[in-house]
Amino acid sequence: MATITTMDPRRLRRIVAEDPEWNLSPIPSLARLCISQLTTGFAERPVFSELPPRYRTELVRTLGTDLPLAVTTELIDDDTYWKRCCVARWPTRRPRRAVANATFKRLFFESHLQGVLESLVPGNVAHAETLATALSVCGPHVISLDLRQLRPPNNEPPPPSSGEEAEGSKTEEVEGGGEVAVEKDEEEQEEEQEALLESWDHIELDDTLKALPNLSDLSVCYRVDDVKMDFKWKMFGATTADVEKLASAVATHGQQVTRLAVPNSLLDNKKVRILVRVLLPTAPSVAGVPMSMPCMLRRLDLSCNVIGDRGARALAKMVGAAEAAPVLEELILADNRIESAGALALGKALHDNDRLRELNLRMNALGDAGGHALFQALIGNKKLADLNLAGNGVSSKSVGALGEAIEAGLPLTNLDLTCNALGVETGRALLGALEKCTTVRVCDLRLTEVERDTELAIGRVLKNNMQAATAREISVAQQ
């Protein structure tokens, strides 16, 4: 039989319960009782800054995540509390590590305001009051705002009266005083559809941007997600009035906005011209707002729209005028139905441009004519570092000019030519150009019909460039 020593814990307590929850917990300290009372009545009588630091930490651990934001916003800066709030509402969201000042408190307020704006229906009084409350609480803490949907108003067009014509047809008088129904052509139907959509303008963002003094990154998508059986065409696309109001709001209250994105919103050339006209410093007043200051955007993203060649020419005017966009560095025009004429206009604007660092034209239809014009215009450019022409129908007839631009000193670091029929000979010519260039670090040639040996040789060249660039960066950092 085992002997029980004096240090055996069984001598300290003769009865050990089989159920650990049966044992009475130790008597809490007075400090813990006080913190428990403060936690219970924190919403009515918040006491935080008066506490010693060690008790504040313990209080933050016990506070609930459903407290009114008007109470906790200014009092609590501890990121552990806001992390619990974020996990409770959005379990999968985390701050982006690559972004400066990426805290859970900032993530919470940005996500909260995003949810309020995305669920708001224009004309709804209750929603407007909720937005006003959210802006007063979240305003100073919002730096990036990503609106993935905006709801249109609930008002429906008036039903046609019994005497009106049926949809898709009109009547014409014939000899004898009678009338006959005639089908409307496609252009007339498009005009009627556009006029109908103009009455479904989305929320005005003027007051929202006015209440966000620290906003620098704005993304707005004029569409509705997960519509299911409630599908209507009015839920997709920005109206002309929407574009005017957005551009006017950015120009008036968003001088601190450096990154603007309006993707997947059915922007055509007419709406893009309105956007450019407002952002140009010499533009006339739009919506009663005179423009005199230059556009301070560093990044403009209009991907997945329908701007076409005329829209690309309008943007080329902004890119080519140094006083129009003095700090514009990134232009994203992916999937916009841009063809050779638009590429030619952008190329002319880039010829002497010393500001634009990234140009993304993937999934357009430049073809060999547009590709050749763009590559020829890049000869002499000393700034463009990132060029994406994936899926543009360029081939060996035009990519040769790209090799000439690279040999002439085009400082590319990232080049994407995927899904273009370049061919074997073009791949070899591109290899020869890259061997004379020390700046290119990434060159994507998937699905381009380039030989495997050529791809491996290009990979070795890029690896050497990457190692040399890393060595230079380390040398500069050590100085």
Task: Report pLDDT digits (tens) over 386-408.
Answer: 999 999 999 888 888 888 888 88
Q: What is the domain-level CATH number for residue 327?
A: 3.80.10.10
pLDDT at 362 over 80: yes
Q: Are residues 128 and 225 in the same domain?
A: no
pTM of the model: 0.82
Most confident of 107-111, 154-158, 319-323: 107-111
At 9, the pLDDT band (50, 70, 90 cuts) reads low
Of 29-33, 277-281, 288-292, 366-370, the range with the lowest mean pLDDT is 288-292
Residue 42 predicted with pLDDT over 70: yes
In a domain? residue 127: yes
For residue 398, what pLDDT is reported? 87
For the four alpha carbons of 339, 297, 355 and 292, in that order, the dihedral sign comes to positive
pLDDT of residue 294: 59
The C-alpha angle with vertex 274 and arms to 271 and 278, in degrees rounded to 5, equals 145
CA-CA distance, 315 to 307, in Å (whole number)?
A: 10
One-character DSSP codes across 112-180: HHHHHHHH--TT-HHHHHHHHHHHHHHGGG-SEEEE---PPPSPPPPPPPTTSPPTTEEEEE-TTS-EE
Within a domain: 57: yes
**Distance of alpha carbon 82 from alpha carbon 87, whole angstroms:** 9
- My answer on whether 322 and 225 are in the same domain is yes
**Quick one: what percent of the chain has pLDDT higher than 90?**
51
Q: Do 201 and 333 fall into the same domain?
A: yes
pLDDT at 315 over 80: yes
Mean pLDDT of the region 184-194: 56
Q: What is the structure's pLDDT at 193?
A: 53
Average pLDDT over residues 20-27: 66
- 207 with 306, same domain: the answer is yes
201 & 317 share domain: yes
Under DSSP, is residue 52 helix (H, G, I), strand (E, B) or coil?
coil
CB atoms within 10 A of CB 346: 28
Q: What is the mean pLDDT of the chain?
A: 83
pLDDT computed for residue 232 by the predictor: 84
Banded model confidence at residue 287, pLDDT cuts 50, 70, 90: very low
Rounded to an integer, what distance in angstroms lies between the CA atom of residue 452 and that of residue 340? 30
Q: How many domains does the chain have?
A: 2
460 lies in some domain: no
Compute the distance between CA of residue 310 and CA of residue 308 in angstroms, rounded to an integer.
6
**In this structure, is residue 429 part of a structural domain?**
no
Q: Is 93 among the domain residues?
A: yes
In which domain, by residue range, is 260 found?
A: 196-337
In the predicted model, what is the mean pLDDT of residues 302-323? 89
- Examine the domain organization and report whether 129 and 234 are in the same domain: no
207 and 281 share a domain?
A: yes
The mean pLDDT value for 239-257 works out to: 87
Instruction: State whether 201 and 90 are in the same domain.
Output: no
Q: With respect to residue 373, please indicate whether it lies within any of the assigned structural domains.
A: no
- The proportion of the chain whose per-residue pLDDT surpasses 70, expressed as a percent, equals 80
Cα separation, 393 vs 363, in Å, equals 9
Per the model's pLDDT, the better-predicted residue between 181 and 89 turns out to be 89
Residue 353 has pLDDT above 90, yes or no: no
Decide if 130 is inside a domain. Answer: yes
> In this predicted structure, what is the pLDDT of residue 170?
52
What's residue 476's pLDDT?
A: 86
Question: Residue 383 is encoded by which pair of tokens?
Answer: 């700034």
Rounded mean pLDDT, 41-62 = 91
Confidence category of residue 326, pLDDT binned at 50, 70, 90: confident
